[in-house]
Structure 1
Amino acid sequence: MSDLEDWPGSGLSDEELDVAYNVRRKAGEELFARHMARYREMSEQAVDGLPGHPGIVYDEASGERLDVWGTGDGLRPVFVFLHGGYWMALSRDVSSFMARALHERGVATVVPDYTLAPEASLEEIVRQVRAAVAWVHRQGREHGLDPERIVVGGSSAGGHLTGMTMVGGWQDAFGVPEDVVKAAMPFSGLFDIRPITRIYVNEYVKLDLERAAALSPALLDTGHRCPAVFVAGEHDGDGFLEQSRLFQPRWGAGELMVVPGRDHFDVVLDLADPDSRVSAALTGLFSR
């Protein structure tokens, strides 16, 4: 683990950090509201009439649930999508916009909820999303999911949580193999979360530098290095772009894709477009 005072943006002022990481302010309230409306509308359209198993409790300790969408004949490879919202907003209900496009390519989608901050600590949120991956591996066959073909992805805070399923050191406690995550696609991920200790989000997640370092994928044992595509939008927040550019070469088993014309909120919606570069890259991860 690197020095606790040596982290991306540590030399910036609080105002400069806010500019780098406050993507909602960068987008503006009108555009942000349009993006959120698209999340909901596209998700509702994607799952309308789609075969699946919504509302399954995957973690008895928290009672949190997940939705399974796009099942079919036999066992299907599965994309586990972890929603963003800086760990304190959004839900599975607005996060299944890719389900129909993947279903048409023979891939199922699993979208879990997790308890939001500040009700849950970030350590507990990480535990829950790891439990969701473990549920797919242990019980997925009962719901048409192939436990040997799990790809995990997520946007923003969900990109951080994706990273926390990619690293090693947690799998034994959940009774899953080290390579349970066969590939990953974090969008606008946060991989060294120490900058969070100095921006508004910390009012909710309440981290100090030591805990933030312990919850940073970039500072943890990589374990089995699965293939990965690190995605960000051309017009993403500067802090998020820097995070992917720093972690991708350290991971050493993935590529960086910066999508032209996209911002922090709409780049992930390209998963719903089967003709997009992002969608093609995800499909490619299932064949590695």
Structure 2
Amino acid sequence: MTSSRITDWDDAYANGAHIKDADSFAPKWEAAAAAYRDARVASERARLDVSYGSSAREVFDLFLPDGDMRGIVVFVHGGYWRAFDKSSWSHLAAGANARGLAVVMPSYTLCPQAQITEITGQVARAINQAAGMLSGPVYLAGHSAGGHLVSRMICATSALSRGVADRVEQVLSISGVHDLRPLMRTAMNRDLRLDFDEATRESPVLHYPRDGVRHHAWVGAEERPEFIRQSELIANIWSGCGADTALTIEPGKHHFDVIDSLADPKSAMLDALLGED
């Protein structure tokens, strides 16, 4: 039997070190996001920096479809709860906008200025406010740390209001981290400041999902084994808790390019987010 025991947790959760030309991705994201954002502002189909709280990063951008609106997608960015903001991902709204959905992209306070419990609360407030402004079903998507955050929104202990939680039709966690306990063994925990109590409290796999929830875990086949395991884990455990779960391991995709398909209105990933797969 081959052992799969982890001995180097930093390497297990390192993405860029295992992706060719990793440093080129962030500038490409930022350029594509700026171009899309500028175009939507010019066509008066965007509202930027909508405040949902008192701190500087408690703001979201809203991108409206050109025609009638059939619902709301909220996309929560990743970066290990320590990096990025809403402005790097505007282009990912293109697919959902083309299919008649408004897209909300929140920023949130980063670690170590905030702990993950606080970030979870901020994301819930952003979704509650956006849902109060817009009608229709709500679809949640997030990448990496964002996958954790949107999964946390549909736990039985979610901070979403009851009315908003009842409107959530589908959650898509892309390369999500659903069990935070291994991160306590990484160097990044100097910023995350996870202890056992918070790691267990904020791990979706250690909570019951809300009744009637639909959750799709999506991960690239070329990702680090831990990200594949984390996606398999939530699909397995939440299925046993009565949730409607699905798992996609997409061939040829790694942690940085797996999200690209959100920008394509005809993609299988967008079908999965909208529950039309």
2:15 pairs, out of 15, 23, 42, with 23
The residue number in structure 1 matching 2:34 is: 44
Matched with 1:129 is: 123
Deviation per CA, 1:192-243: give whole Å up to 9, x if none. 1100000122011111122101110000121224222211011111111000
1:34 aligns with 2:24: yes
- Distance in 1, matches of 2:144 and 2:204, equals 14
Q: How does 1:74-223 map to 2 (within 5 A)?
A: 74-140=68-134, 146=135, 148-171=136-159, 174=161, 176-223=163-210
Distance 1:48 1:102 in 2: 17
TM-score after normalising by structure 1: 0.86
Equivalent position to 2:253, from 244, 262, 276: 262
- Checking the alignment, whether the CA contact within 8 Å between 1:70 and 1:100 is kept in structure 2 is no
Give the whole-Å Cα distance in 2 for the aligned partners of 1:245 and 1:20: 16
- Paired residues of 1:167 and 1:224 also in contact (CA < 8 A): no
Asked if residue 57 in structure 1 is aligned to residue 51 in structure 2, the reply is yes
Cα RMSD (Å): 2.0
Q: Is the 8 A contact 1:166 1:225 kept in 2?
A: no
Structure 1 gaps, min length 5: 1-8, 141-145
Q: Secondary structure at the match of 1:211?
A: helix
SS of structure 1 residue aligned to 2:71: strand
Moved over 6 A (4+): none
TM-score by length of 2: 0.89
Secondary structure at the aligned position of 1:179 is classed as helix
Secondary structure class of the residue paired with 1:98: helix
State whether residues 236 and 262 of structure 1, in contact with CA within 8 Å, keep that contact through their aligned partners in structure 2: yes
**Letter aligned with residue 68 of structure 1:** L
Question: 2: distance between equivalents of 1:71 and 1:127?
Answer: 28
* Structure 1 SS opposite 2:218: strand
Letter of the structure 1 residue corresponding to residue 89 of structure 2: S
3-state SS, counterpart of residue 49 of structure 1: helix
Letter in 2 for 1:158: G
2:170–2:273 contact (8 Å) kept in structure 1: no
In 1, Cα distance between equivalents of 2:60 and 2:246: 29
- The amino acid that maps onto 1:186 is S
Q: CA deviation at 1:259?
A: 1.1
Aligned-partner SS, 1:257? strand
> Contact 2:63–2:104 at 8 Å: present in 1 too?
yes
Are 1:137 and 1:176, in contact at CA under 8 Å, matched by a contact in 2?
no
CA separation in 1, counterparts of 2:179 and 2:212? 18
Aligned length: 266
Q: Is the 8 A contact 1:179 1:226 kept in 2?
A: no
Q: Any unmatched runs of 5+ in structure 2?
A: none
